Amino acid sequence: MNLQGLYGAVPLAHYFFRERLKAGDRVVDATCGNGLDTLLLAELVGINGRVWAFDVQADAIETTRALLAEKGYAEWVTLVHGGHELMAETVDEEVMAVVFNLGYLPTGDREVKTSAATTVAALDAARSLLLPNGLILIAVYTGHDGGGDEWLAVKEWCERLNPHQFNVWQSRQLNRSERAPFLVVVEKVAPTPSLSEKHR
């Protein structure tokens, strides 16, 4: 871990990736941007795994493609130049994780940012693709124009999830500004085996 440790939503998301994901898993990066999350996902799932990575910006897709090629991970990553709201039509397997890093790319066009309606559509798709014990990780930014509305939509979506089927967490750094990014973690609960199954 770097010197920043768990400073911010993205390192915390990476901590969860490392804890939960294993070689061979299927995962989705819903917002690949510069490819840093995609790269770690590709490293963790390895050549027998599969990653789908979405972004609406051609530059983001090309930056991610170059990063993956440099590390030799390109073979098991499908890059999708398009919105994550296309997830249900594009991803053809169940997955262990779907990762959203919302907002805009600080090194790119700040006018191109995620928005409430498409994020919620993608969350619906992510929920239907998720395997038991799988995670949806959402890094949320409320400081930019539209960020507050997007967070309200994500929060309402999370609050509607059945607590018997999903564990839903909001992780915020209490010693930072209320506008600092935070992480939402959605875990799909694995069904507990019935007593008769346990004794089989």
- Cα separation of 52 and 28, whole Å? 5
Residue nearest to ligand SAM (CB): 33
Q: Which is nearer to ligand SAM, 9 or 186 (CB)?
A: 9
Q: Which is nearer to ligand SAM, 69 or 112 (CB)?
A: 112
Strand 166-171 and strand 182-188: the pairing is antiparallel
> Least distance from C-beta 104 to ligand SAM, angstroms?
6
- Cα separation of 60 and 62, whole Å? 5
| Interacting residues with ligand SAM (CB under 6 A) | 31-37, 54-57, 60, 83-85, 101, 103-105, 108, 112-114, 118
- Cα separation of 147 and 191, whole Å? 35
Q: Which is nearer to ligand SAM, 118 or 173 (CB)?
A: 118
What's the one-letter identity of residue 5? G
> Least distance from C-beta 198 to ligand SAM, angstroms?
41
> Least distance from C-beta 87 to ligand SAM, angstroms?
9
C-alpha 72 chain-centroid distance: 22
- Cα separation of 64 and 34, whole Å? 6
> Least distance from C-beta 84 to ligand SAM, angstroms?
4
Q: Which is nearer to ligand SAM, 57 or 90 (CB)?
A: 57
> Least distance from C-beta 64 to ligand SAM, angstroms?
8
Q: Which is nearer to ligand SAM, 59 or 173 (CB)?
A: 59
Q: What is the DSSP letter of 23?
A: T
Tally of helices (H runs) and strands (E runs) in the chain = 7, 7
